Amino acid sequence: MAIQAFSAIIPDVRDDKNKIYQSNEIVFIALVSVICGADTWNEIETFGKTHESYFKTRLPGLTSIPSHDTLSRFFSILDIDWFEECFRLWVDDICRKIPGVVAIDGKAVCDNPHKNSRSKNGVRSKLYIVSAWSVSNGICLGQKKVEEK
């Protein structure tokens, strides 16, 4: 399934009042921006404005790029667990069509040692993340926080 088709299946849960952008436009712009390295709503907005002509050729009817506030509001009311599951299924579908190696890697991210960030029992907390990386495509297919190493 193409990224535009995936964007079109995400339901619009917003009220119709004052709605300027279609849900498929918001999702498409956000996904393309994140794939290209944007990490925050501001960066997605900036990427969208920088590549506005690209988005207008692929999204008929798009008049402008949504603001970071619009992006944030849209995704904050979306059922994120459902969206994540749909996204994983979409990426899984892509992975089946493209042969190659998927590298699995785990990392422990420690707290900043310069801050007083010890928990009540005096042990520094760690965040464990497992990532799946498509070697031939050069993209991260997903990351998941896990409880332990």
Q: In what order do the strands lie in the sheet with 126-134?
A: 102-110, 126-134, 139-146
Query: Domain check: are 15 and 84 in the same one?
Result: yes
DSSP three-state, residue 6:
helix
Domain boundaries, position 48: 3-96
Token pair listed for 136:
């031939």
Q: Tell me how far apart the alpha carbons of residues 147 and 127 are, in angstroms, rounded to a whole number.
A: 8
Q: How many domains does the chain have?
A: 2
For residues 93 and 95, the model is more confident at 93
Question: What are the tens digits of pLDDT across the range 34-86?
Answer: 888 888 999 999 999 999 999 999 998 899 999 999 999 999 988 888 888 88
| This model's pTM is above 0.75 | no
Contact 65, 110 (CB under 8 A): no
Query: Domain check: are 85 and 105 in the same one?
Result: no
Query: Domain check: are 36 and 55 in the same one?
Result: yes
Query: Domain check: are 32 and 20 in the same one?
Result: yes
Query: Domain check: are 48 and 108 in the same one?
Result: no
Q: Beta strands 102-110 and 126-134: pairing type?
A: antiparallel
